[in-house]
Amino acid sequence: MGPLSGKVAIVTGASMGISKGSVERLTADGTLVIVNYNSESAAADEMVYSIDVNRALAVQADVGTMTGVDDLISATVERFGKIDILLLSAGIQFYAQFNSSVQGAFFLVQHTVYVMTKGAVEQATRSLCKALGLKGITVNTIAPEATATDLLLVGKRDEALSGIAALR
């Protein structure tokens, strides 16, 4: 069907704006999509129906909260069995935007794709190397693959752990 055929994407804030266009592109490339929304259910449902109810699912979840992230991950894994792509683009007023766009992004990463945290640490390390290297300070990072430790396992729902396992 397309270059992303069979991949599963969660798109936060997907019912409106830039995210809506991203969902349209992902589905055109064959991706199965979770259309996440916080309050615009009519727009999210309309998007799902315009795509195909077998290839998309609207999920109400506030990704600025751990409960919202857990619900989003559970719904995704229950419906499509895995998560391949996270497109983090929810956005609203300042504090809510911070919770949704930043905190929500970190919650999703923490609960679904541990590997992505390594990428964030690696990027931060690169930036710190550039800034601190000029002062003779060496910055490095250790970023092992997801490891079955309490940090990864404790407090996670079985559905979330199944989603993590499916990413390997």
- State pLDDT tens for residues 151-166: 667 777 777 777 666 6
pLDDT at 76: 92
Q: Tell me: pLDDT of 33 over 90.
A: yes
Lowest mean pLDDT among 34-38, 59-63, 149-153: 149-153
Q: Where are the domains of the chain?
A: 8-166
Q: Tell me: pLDDT of 96 over 60.
A: no
**Matching residue, tokens 């935007």:** 97
pLDDT at 95: 45
pLDDT at 99: 58
pTM above 0.85, yes or no: no
How many residues can be counted in the chain?
Answer: 168
What is 8-166's CATH number, 3.40.50.720, 1.10.760.10, 3.40.50.300, 3.30.420.40?
A: 3.40.50.720
Q: In what order do the strands lie in the sheet with 32-37?
A: 56-60, 32-37, 8-11, 85-87
pLDDT at 34: 93
Q: Which residue has the higher pLDDT, 89 or 60?
A: 60
Q: Which residue has the higher pLDDT, 63 or 92?
A: 63
Q: Tell me: pLDDT of 94 over 50.
A: no
pLDDT at 146: 61
Q: Tell me: pLDDT of 31 over 50.
A: yes
Q: Tell me: pLDDT of 120 over 90.
A: no
Mean pLDDT of the chain: 75
Q: Tell me: pLDDT of 110 over 60.
A: yes
Instruction: Show the 3-state SS of 105-138.
Output: HHHHHHHHCHHHHHHHHHHHHHHHHHHHHCCCCC
DSSP one-letter code for 89: -
